[in-house]
Amino acid sequence: MLYLTRKMGETIVINDTIEVTVVEVRGRSVKLGFVFPPEASVLRKEIHEKIKRENIEAARAGEALAELDFKPENLAGSAKDPAASGSKD
């Protein structure tokens, strides 16, 4: 991790496209201002981690779904299912 010391109003530049400016320091809180290209994604870490967890869960659910057998003869309501044809033997 890189540590930098900046005073209020000072800016750092990342990859020539992102600027981070110290806007305000109040007690133990620091307010930062960001300038970045529209294609950049900027999220608080806890939000990023939540999205990442949800994406992993969705991928696992998709893998489980892909393992299911969706052949027509195995589905309820198929033509071979007597309940689906309305037949009352």
Q: 25's torsion region: left (phi>0), alpha (psi -120 to 50) or beta? A: beta
Instruction: Please report whether residue 72 resides in a domain.
Output: no
Instruction: Please report whether residue 74 resides in a domain.
Output: no
- 49-60 residue pLDDT tens: 999 999 999 998
Instruction: Please report whether residue 89 resides in a domain.
Output: no
**pLDDT at residue number 53:** 95
Residue 78: pLDDT above 60? no
Structural domain span for residue 21 = 11-35+43-67
Instruction: Please report whether residue 87 resides in a domain.
Output: no
More confident residue, 25 or 72: 25
Instruction: Please report whether residue 53 resides in a domain.
Output: yes
More confident residue, 83 or 43: 43
Query: Are 18 and 35 a contacting pair, CB within 8 Å?
Result: yes
Instruction: Please report whether residue 26 resides in a domain.
Output: yes
Euclidean distance between CA atoms 89 and 86, whole angstroms = 10
Instruction: Please report whether residue 3 resides in a domain.
Output: no
Query: Are 67 and 61 a contacting pair, CB within 8 Å?
Result: no
- 32-45 residue pLDDT tens: 999 999 999 999 99
What domain count does the chain have? 1
3-state DSSP assignment of residue 44:
coil
Q: Which residues contact 78 (CB under 8 A, 6 or more apart)?
A: 72, 84
Instruction: Please report whether residue 86 resides in a domain.
Output: no
